[in-house]
Structure 1
Amino acid sequence: MAMKVEVVSTETIKPSSPTPSHLRNFKLCLLDQLAPPFYVPLILFYSCPDDKVALNSASVTGNLRTSLSQALSLFYPLGGRVKGNAAIDCNDEGALYLEAKAHFELSEVLSNPDINQLLQFLPFPTYRVTPNIEEQFILGVQANFFNCGGIGIGICISHKIADAASLSAFLTAWSEIALNGIDGKASLITPFLKASELFQPKDINIKMPSWVISNEKLSTKRFRFNGESLSHLRARFGSASPTAVEAVTALIWKTAMETARKRPERNENYPLSSAATHVVNIRSRVRPQPLPENALGNLWQITAAPVMDANKGAELQDFAGILRKSIRAIDGEYLSMLQGDRGLAMAYESLMAAPKLAASSAGKMELYRFSSWARFPFYKVDFCFGRPAWVCTTSFPTQNMVFLLGTRCGDGIEAWITLTEHDMIEFERNDELLQFVSSP
């Protein structure tokens, strides 16, 4: 039976206090200017507390709305509207807030999630690029109330001003206000809003890479790695000692490359090599003073791992080694240059790393894109009804895309992998992969 979610109310939540006139024109930083014009989606599911029959939707909604309004006064650009590709008009027009009724039990989602059904828990379509960005909300929230008393908080934030780290910072601040009010810890949750001073905006007239929705039939599935299986996986690398993210990335990349080799249509034009890109959060890498984790903006760069020959027997260590080397290239020296006169050229080169690799191969290379959200504290977001039972994103409509998220226990990784349908069938029965994948 299909899971039905019905929106029952819609309103706009404005900041609790007006944005001062001298802050109304918020400059986008250079990296924001180059960011894609779609939404970053996240859903947090909360089970009904054991000591309550059901969470009272009226009181929960009241607290969510009040605390959201107060959080918007701190993160005031999120209550404004994008103005061209240079600034946000912090006009306090507010964020969208929807309340919805999920006519089924939360356990149906947690026990056997249907990834195609998750979009209905979100306030906006996520990866659909639309031309009228200046008329759109920057932030949208949908509070979904289940029959059992559980709650799902779906949130979308515009990628023109925020990345996943920014979303995490906002959720942390919002939940802190919901728990304890805006007084007392406001100084700890006030965001860093000066990215444009470090990465100064430019007059951009270059052709941006297109965000193409794949025409192939795609399949998105999640693969879970618990703490024990990650320990076993990392032991496979010997003295290389990769991080958990590096180890999982290497395993998925190697498995995907082996999968591609087994395609039935393999011929002389078959992809002979593969490469991987990874999104790198640059906040902690800026020198001489690292940026705080609650810095608002698109503070990331894309690094491309060199090409691997699919016809040569590469080991996990090989994949992890070139991956680590490419990530470490995004260092303090690189970021100092990114802040200088060559900043635009370097940032554009980062964005074009994947398209250039694909173009240079004349169709004989398979490209895999990775982005890790595993370190963000989404599972600590508490709106007065405990920690989330599950935090997830949605499928990305482009093949060979991988998102890595953390798990509730804190020591695992959940990989959301989008491949073509025929590749996914072969991928999910790979013997080496299955040695480390945990049961759902």
Structure 2
Amino acid sequence: MKEGNKSMEVVVKSVEKVKPSWYKYSSLVSEDDHELRPPFKLCSLDQLVTAATYTPLILFYTMETASSWEWSPEIMSSKLRESLSLTLTSYYPLSGRVKDGVVIENFEAGAPFIESRVQGHSLAEFLRPPKLEFLNKLLPVEPLAFHQTTVTDDDDCDYDDRIPLELQLPAAQVIVQMNTFDCGGIAIGLCFNHQVVDGPIMSIFLRTWAAHCRQLLLMCGSAEGRELTAQSVSTEDLSRGSTAFPPRHQGSPPQVLQPLIEEIEAKDNAIKTATRRFVFYDHAITSLRSLATTSTLIPTRTEALVAFIWGSTIAAATASNSSKPLCLTQAVNLRPRMKKREATDDELLLSQHSLGNLFSMAASFCNSGMISTTTTATTAISALAPLLREAVVAAVDEKHLDVLSSQQGGFDAMVEGLGIGVPTLICSSWIRFGFSDIDFGWGKPVWSGAVGEAHRHNAALRDMIILKELAPQKEGNINDYNNGGIEAWIRIDDKVMAALEKDPDFLQFATPNPPILY
């Protein structure tokens, strides 16, 4: 049997709920953390998401990066669960369940924590190169897909039959799966409900969780010199989103996202998607920035890369006689951008801890005349990059934010930003989220994975790009490292993907799914 065709089995060993610790634990939590909390209000931007859709992340750790202290899956699992309980005490809404699209309550429901065993691959085999076809098996639920939040006896439910249904419905905010390889390495599969958790909150939640876990290991003498960095989080900081973007009392009107849902359902049987991972090393990104630079714009690394990928997918769609994605949308984090009106200084309205989908959609529209049948991505990049910059500026314009913060206007503005009715490519940038630095006490991950192939018919995001940083990789000699780069996870129509994978202009800069060397 060829290595690429090896099967992989993931066997669930145990499932439990991790609940918040409502008691003081040394100096790690604030004095009132043991008190019961009132229902947590969603913000109006959260109410746009009418079904649970899980954002995935998988952190891979090898015990080669750990200290000489003797690790075991049992010890690691115990400390992960205990520290997760502490973290859920601070971010208590992520332990609850959404009710009526208006509030989160039932904080004792907890976060499902699954332990599983990987059979058929060692960690090294899995990562050299990453087996994208098996990646979703390391996640507790199907990612980037619509999941029901309630269930009746007549429902044909979408749920993972490896995990008890009662732990999945109603939809949990955070679900964890700790996968142990036979070699001793582990992969922590995480799914965050995008109804209340966006990328920046994923980042700070994981950093807080890792800091608590390091502290617990310090207390038992197994993580010398690792400093505690977890911060106390106030309820006021958590709830600033619903203050800035007041929720509708009746929840999201069903007609808001209905056109998008109908569009996705119409594609279910007609379009098959493909997911691929490409790496753009630093020297390639530098070249792309040069190509995108004009007399009026010096693009950032991300702007140049997104413009190139967008242009490449348009060229591939043209070559495959498919619909061209003439719209590209990006989420712009509002937490560091919104200032308090009454403040005399630059005091921010939102906190880095504020929960919710606190972003504005930056929609860039490409005129079809810009891209002819002979245009390549390298010639189009200088025209597309300015569109991205202009869209981001418009997305955080003060007048636009005023509209966004109003109840009905906010819905309309976000729907417009989704590009409904226009073939759209969604770009989500995880750059600077620090996922490669999440150290629970046994070293940083050797790699972090995003999403594998879509196996279900109800993929919520079909045409999308996820960008994330690639940690420095060893090349040949153990002391020889490259400077990393940016990974682009692209999920598009498989016909468009086939054309993209054959495009020499694209492959001049993109390296398809290289192995992870550590």
Same fold at TM > 0.5: yes
Q: Out of 387, 400, 405, which is 2:468 matched to?
A: 405
Identify if the C-alpha distance between structure 1 residues 105 and 92 changes in structure 2 by more than 3 Å, giving closer, same or farther. same
Q: Which amino acid aligns with 2:90?
A: L
Matched, 1:329 2:394: yes
* In 2: Cα distance, 1:149 partner to 1:54 partner: 11
Matches within 5 A, 1:203-352: 203=249, 204-205=252-253, 207-209=255-257, 210-211=260-261, 212=264, 214-215=268-269, 216-239=271-294, 240-263=297-320, 266=321, 271=323, 274-288=326-340, 289-290=347-348, 291-309=350-368, 310-311=371-372, 313=375, 315-334=380-399, 336-338=401-403, 340=405, 342-352=406-416
The aligned counterpart of 2:55 is 40
* In 2: Cα distance, 1:333 partner to 1:351 partner: 18
User: How far apart are 1:316 and its partner, in Å?
Assistant: 0.8
Q: Structure 1 residues 11-20 or 89-98, which shifts more?
A: 11-20
* In 1: Cα distance, 2:495 partner to 2:253 partner: 39
* In 2: Cα distance, 1:145 partner to 1:54 partner: 16
Q: Out of 409, 424, 427, which is 2:500 matched to?
A: 427
Identify if the C-alpha distance between structure 1 residues 94 and 322 changes in structure 2 by more than 3 Å, giving closer, same or farther. same
Q: Out of 443, 457, 460, which is 1:386 matched to?
A: 443
The aligned counterpart of 1:138 is 173
- CA deviations 1:122-181 (Å, max 9, x no partner) are 112223323335622221101111111111000111111111211111101000100124
User: How far apart are 1:205 and its partner, in Å?
Assistant: 2.7
Matched, 1:202 2:248: yes
Q: Out of 366, 372, 384, which is 2:429 matched to?
A: 372
Contact 1:273–1:308 (CA under 8 A) maintained in structure 2: no
Secondary structure of residue in 2 paired with 1:424? helix
Secondary structure of residue in 2 paired with 1:276? strand
Contact 2:148–2:171 (CA under 8 A) maintained in structure 1: no
- CA deviations 1:12-51 (Å, max 9, x no partner) are 1111116666623101111111125211111111112256
Matches within 5 A, 1:139-158: 139-158=174-193
Q: Which amino acid aligns with 2:467?
A: L
Q: Structure 1 residues 14-23 or 407-416, which shifts more?
A: 14-23
Contact 1:71–1:174 (CA under 8 A) maintained in structure 2: yes
Q: Cα RMSD (Å) of the superposition?
A: 2.5
Identify if the C-alpha distance between structure 1 residues 89 and 9 changes in structure 2 by more than 3 Å, giving closer, same or farther. same
User: How far apart are 1:338 and its partner, in Å?
Assistant: 3.9
Identify if the C-alpha distance between structure 1 residues 28 and 272 changes in structure 2 by more than 3 Å, giving closer, same or farther. closer
The aligned counterpart of 2:19 is 14
Q: Which amino acid aligns with 1:177?
A: H
Contact 2:21–2:88 (CA under 8 A) maintained in structure 1: yes
The aligned counterpart of 1:361 is none
* In 1: Cα distance, 2:383 partner to 2:75 partner: 54
Contact 2:61–2:443 (CA under 8 A) maintained in structure 1: yes
Contact 2:196–2:356 (CA under 8 A) maintained in structure 1: yes
The aligned counterpart of 1:123 is 140
Q: How many residue pairs end up in the alignment?
A: 427
The aligned counterpart of 1:26 is 40
The aligned counterpart of 1:49 is 64
* In 1: Cα distance, 2:126 partner to 2:73 partner: 20
The aligned counterpart of 2:159 is none
Contact 1:178–1:384 (CA under 8 A) maintained in structure 2: yes
The aligned counterpart of 1:362 is none
Contact 2:90–2:232 (CA under 8 A) maintained in structure 1: no
Identify if the C-alpha distance between structure 1 residues 334 and 169 changes in structure 2 by more than 3 Å, giving closer, same or farther. farther
User: How far apart are 1:64 and its partner, in Å?
Assistant: 0.6
The aligned counterpart of 2:231 is 187
Contact 1:166–1:294 (CA under 8 A) maintained in structure 2: yes
* In 1: Cα distance, 2:400 partner to 2:416 partner: 17
The aligned counterpart of 1:4 is 9
Identify if the C-alpha distance between structure 1 residues 389 and 190 changes in structure 2 by more than 3 Å, giving closer, same or farther. farther
* In 1: Cα distance, 2:399 partner to 2:102 partner: 24
- The TM-score with structure 2 as length reference comes to 0.77
Q: List runs of 5+ in structure 1 lacking aligned partners.
A: 359-365
Contact 2:273–2:492 (CA under 8 A) maintained in structure 1: yes
- CA deviations 1:40-99 (Å, max 9, x no partner) are 111111112256597311111111111011111111011111111110004322110011
* In 2: Cα distance, 1:188 partner to 1:346 partner: 31
User: How far apart are 1:118 and its partner, in Å?
Assistant: 1.0
- CA deviations 1:271-302 (Å, max 9, x no partner) are 57722112222221112433343322111122
Identify if the C-alpha distance between structure 1 residues 235 and 307 changes in structure 2 by more than 3 Å, giving closer, same or farther. closer
Matched, 1:92 2:138: no
Q: List runs of 5+ in structure 2 lacking aligned partners.
A: 1-5, 24-32, 151-168, 220-226, 341-346, 473-482
User: How far apart are 1:184 and its partner, in Å?
Assistant: 6.3
Secondary structure of residue in 2 paired with 1:123? coil
